Structure 1
Amino acid sequence: MGKTGGRGEFEWVYTDQPHTSRRKEILAKHPEIKSLMGHDPQLKWVVSGMVLTQFLACYLVQDLSWKWIFFWAYCFGGCINHSLTLAIHDISHNVAFGNKLAKWNRWFAMWANLPIGLPYSASFKKYHVDHHRYLGVDQWDVDIPTDWEGWFFCTPARKLFWLFLQPLFYALRPLVVNPKPVGQLEVQNAVVQLISDLIIFYFWGLKPIVYLIAGSVLGMGIHPISGHFIAEHYMFLKGHETYSYYGPLNLITFNVGYHMEHHDFPSIPGSKLPQVKQIAAEFYDDLPQHTSWTRVLWDFVFDDSIGPYARIKREYKLSRREKKPTDLD
């Protein structure tokens, strides 16, 4: 199975996340950044074009052989579906229609969810809020692997398998670490998704459904775009828990690579994050950054010092207004 990885525990810190303090410093020096906050009027059109492209692809693949179904699912559909999950990430911050039309954002996320094949958007929103507010906090931030993942996936072969199973862990980990009651929006998300899948199956058969779901699974597994999962918060340098990537893949991922900037200013749409980097360059230029998501995946698999344990974790003291993680709704 390969050589056992070097890390045997998470990196525990007892300080607050750096994004809160840096946000204050940047706004004090560059208050004009506030003008970038708000919704992105182009987002709904870009996302709708991607959704309709996948529906067209469903029509085109209905008579293909199975080997070509999986080929196009990985090379084409997986790219679009992974990009749509990142659109849903952007929409979860209400940047499609603004904070005053929060429900419109939730419904639009369900529209963006349709080509993914499985209901995802409503649950993602619920947990992603915690990821920003409680970055790295034990039991709150479900983006962090479990102890079992860190212990077991510690060799190159096992880490490669872990990357392949990333969609499964992202779906199931919240249910283990911080389960929350199923809400009305999640039920609506599931019903809308089921109706869409049934319509596609009725008109074009099983192969388009397999194309969509396989694209989602393969595109979020061992795939160049999936390097962002590891690049964002895995500790490649000691003490640094968030990293940006400024390469060309940002063009098809709604600038999720500008992740340092995103955590500093989550209410700014992905389309405007390069402007944050440009305005406040002195705060970002000297921070560690990645130059290749493919290289990130390679290093994750073959570098003994990097693995599921290579994450910063912190304890968090509850305020009187806050509940325990298992009680959150």
Structure 2
Amino acid sequence: MGNRVIREDFEWVYTDQPHSQRRKEILAKYPEIKSLMRHDPQLKWIVSGMVFTQLLACYLVKDLSWKWIFFWAYAFGGCINHSLTLAIHDISHNVAFGNKQAKWNRWFAVFANLPIGLPYSASFKKYHIDHHRYLGGDILDVDIPTDFEGWFFCTPPRKVVWLILQPLLYALRPLYVNPKPITRMEVYNALVQFIVDLVIYYLWGLKPVIYLVAGSILCMGFHPISGHFIAEHYMFLKGYETYSYYGPLNWITFNVGYHMEHHDFPSIPGSRLPLVKKIAAEYYDNIPQHTSWVRVLWDFIVEDTIGPYSRVKRIFKLTDDKD
């Protein structure tokens, strides 16, 4: 085990993000993939079942001791909440009701947000668009750690702390790197969320609220499912900035592991991404991929070649120079 990450900066490149060109090539060869670009009618029922499961859990945990509150938050409720954040990720691409029902998608994301305990969906939507459009973009893609994160969290113990702090860093990083005006939908998201939190507190007390919030924070931090945060875009091999994972955890994460496929075709619901891989197999079978999110976390911690600096960055010019 190394003592310190040897990288001292990001991997700066001067090429466009690769997914736009790949998308053109794949569609030219397999135009039938366009038929997969439609909403997923099952998504709303699956998400609704998860939301109501968590509301039932709130009732069941109201009389538990605190140690069991945190145990079930980490082992059960937090897993559902993390899965709901990935449902919100899917919904942000309008796959719940289709592009013609954008408002329905936005409000359904607010509904999916309820068990998470803190408002999340509207802000995620606002920044996630930039992550796809400007993948690796300096300042624009707030999925990339800050220079401070890369400099400070450079040893195995510090990287463990960094993984634990992931929820906090994901929440605060956009406000520091690329702050945007608060939207009306973010206000609605917060109002609805806090009203529901207060109703749960009024009905069943503080423990169910802590169960929801603690589960979200714990399972988006140092948890096996959170391996996808590192697996998706951290550069484990030079020259590759997006990776897929095809293991069983996709069953409870809306196929977020099919991440190369997702960035190639963000308008295709997660439930149909395995079909993309099957149709265009030669584009996905022979590129680097992860086999375990737990192994990803382990390698991230112990390898001195990998750390928060292990990301590809590029400069995007957003305005035309008229001079």
Partner of 1:268: 268
Partner of 1:211: 211
Counterpart AA for 1:36 = L
Once the two structures are superposed, what CA deviation does each residue of 1:52-82 show, in whole Å capped at 9, x if it has no partner? 0000000000000000000000000010000
Residues 1:159 and 2:171 are matched in the alignment: no
Partner of 2:86: 86
Deviation at 1:320, TM superposition (A): 3.5
Q: What TM-score results when the alignment is normalised by the length of structure 1?
A: 0.97
Distance 1:190 1:278 in 2: 40
In the TM superposition, 1:37-116 aligns within 5 A as: 37-116=37-116
Distance 2:203 2:12 in 1: 53
Distance 1:318 1:109 in 2: 29
Equivalenced residue count is 321
In the TM superposition, 1:141-180 aligns within 5 A as: 141-180=141-180
Where does the alignment leave 5 or more consecutive residues of structure 2 unmatched?
A: none
Partner of 1:305: 305
Distance 2:244 2:308 in 1: 19
Once the two structures are superposed, what CA deviation does each residue of 1:215-259 show, in whole Å capped at 9, x if it has no partner? 000010010000000000000000100000000000000000000
Counterpart AA for 1:41 = P
Deviation at 1:3, TM superposition (A): 1.1
In the TM superposition, 1:171-210 aligns within 5 A as: 171-210=171-210
Once the two structures are superposed, what CA deviation does each residue of 1:259-297 show, in whole Å capped at 9, x if it has no partner? 000000000000000000000001111110000000000
Deviation at 1:83, TM superposition (A): 0.1
Distance 1:97 1:303 in 2: 43
Residue 198 of structure 1 aligns to a residue whose secondary structure is helix
Counterpart AA for 1:292 = S
In the TM superposition, 1:240-259 aligns within 5 A as: 240-259=240-259
Partner of 1:133: 133
Distance 1:11 1:262 in 2: 22
Distance 2:7 2:134 in 1: 23
CA RMSD of aligned residues (A): 1.1
Distance 1:303 1:270 in 2: 31
The percentage of aligned residue pairs carrying the same residue is 79
Counterpart AA for 1:312 = V
Counterpart AA for 1:172 = L
Distance 2:4 2:33 in 1: 46
Counterpart AA for 2:37 = M
